[in-house]
Chains A and B, each alone.
Chain A
Amino acid sequence: MTSPASDLAADAPIFELDRREALPALIGRHEDFLIVAGLAGTARDIAALTQNAPHGFTMGGAMGGACMIGLGLALAQRDRRILVVTGDGELLMNVGALATVALMNPPNLSIICVDNGHYGETGYQKSHTSLGTDLERMASGAGIKLTRTVQRAADIPSGAQLLRQGNATVFVLLRVNTGEPPVYKRIWDPVVNRAQFRTGLLGR
Chain B
Amino acid sequence: MNEQTTAVPARWQDEVFDLLRRAGVTQFGYVPDAGHTILIDRSIADPDVYAIALTTEEEGVALIAGADLGGARGVLLMQSSGVGNCINMLSLINSGRFPFLALVTMRGDFGEGNPWQYPMGQAVVPVLQAVGVTCLRADTPAEALAAVSAAITMVFQAGQAVAVLFTQKLLGAKRF
Shortest CB distance B90–A (Å): 8
Tell me, yes or no, whether A65 is within 8 Å of chain B by CB. yes
Shortest CB distance B141–A (Å): 30
- Which of chain B's residues has its CB closest to A75's CB? B50
Q: Which of B54, B61, B64 contacts A100 (CB 8 A)?
A: B54
CA distance A183 to B14 in the complex (A): 52
- Chain B 13-40 residues near chain A, CB threshold 8 A: 26-27
When the two chains form their complex, are residues A72 and B97 in contact, meaning their CB atoms are under 8 A apart?
no
When the two chains form their complex, are residues B70 and A77 in contact, meaning their CB atoms are under 8 A apart?
yes
Given the interface pairs A65-B89, A72-B63, the reply to whether A100 lies near B52 with Cβ below 8 Å is yes
Tell me, yes or no, whether A153 is within 8 Å of chain B by CB. no
Tell me, yes or no, whether B153 is within 8 Å of chain A by CB. no
- Chain A contacts for B26, CB-based, 8 A: 75-76
Shortest CB distance A28–B (Å): 22
Tell me, yes or no, whether B55 is within 8 Å of chain A by CB. yes
Kindly specify which of A18-26, A41-49, A130-138, A193-201 makes contact with the partner chain. Answer: A193-201
- Chain A contacts for B89, CB-based, 8 A: 62, 64-65
Tell me, yes or no, whether A92 is within 8 Å of chain B by CB. no
When the two chains form their complex, are residues B71 and A75 in contact, meaning their CB atoms are under 8 A apart?
no
Tell me, yes or no, whether B129 is within 8 Å of chain A by CB. no
Q: Which of B50, B68, B74 contacts A104 (CB 8 A)?
A: B50
- Chain B contacts for A201, CB-based, 8 A: 69-71
Q: Which of A57, A59, A61, A68 contacts B59 (CB 8 A)?
A: A68
CA distance A121 to B58 in the complex (A): 22
CA distance A198 to B70 in the complex (A): 7
When the two chains form their complex, are residues A76 and B72 in contact, meaning their CB atoms are under 8 A apart?
yes
Against B, the Cβ 8 Å flags (1 = close, 0 = not) of A89-123 are 00000101101100110000000000000000000
Given the interface pairs A62-B88, A62-B91, A191-B97, the reply to whether A73 lies near B55 with Cβ below 8 Å is no
Tell me, yes or no, whether B113 is within 8 Å of chain A by CB. no
CA distance A97 to B61 in the complex (A): 12
Against B, the Cβ 8 Å flags (1 = close, 0 = not) of A49-93 are 000000001010111111111111111110000000000000000
Interface size class for chain B?
Answer: 20 to 34
Tell me, yes or no, whether B172 is within 8 Å of chain A by CB. no
When the two chains form their complex, are residues A71 and B53 in contact, meaning their CB atoms are under 8 A apart?
no
Most B Cβ at <10 Å: residue of A74, A77, A193 = A77
Given the interface pairs A72-B70, A73-B70, the reply to whether A65 lies near B61 with Cβ below 8 Å is yes
Tell me, yes or no, whether B66 is within 8 Å of chain A by CB. yes
When the two chains form their complex, are residues A72 and B71 in contact, meaning their CB atoms are under 8 A apart?
no
Tell me, yes or no, whether A174 is within 8 Å of chain B by CB. no
Tell me, yes or no, whether B96 is within 8 Å of chain A by CB. yes
- Which of chain B's residues has its CB closest to A77's CB? B70
When the two chains form their complex, are residues B53 and A75 in contact, meaning their CB atoms are under 8 A apart?
no
- Chain B contacts for A62, CB-based, 8 A: 62, 88-89, 91-92
A76-B26, A96-B55 known, 14 other contacts, Cβ within 8 Å: A61-B88, A61-B92, A65-B62, A69-B62, A72-B27, A72-B72, A74-B66, A75-B26, A76-B72, A191-B95, A194-B96, A194-B98, A198-B68, A198-B69
- Between-chain CB contacts (< 8 Å), 14 pairs: A62-B91, A64-B58, A64-B62, A65-B58, A69-B62, A71-B66, A72-B65, A75-B50, A75-B52, A103-B52, A190-B95, A191-B95, A198-B68, A198-B71
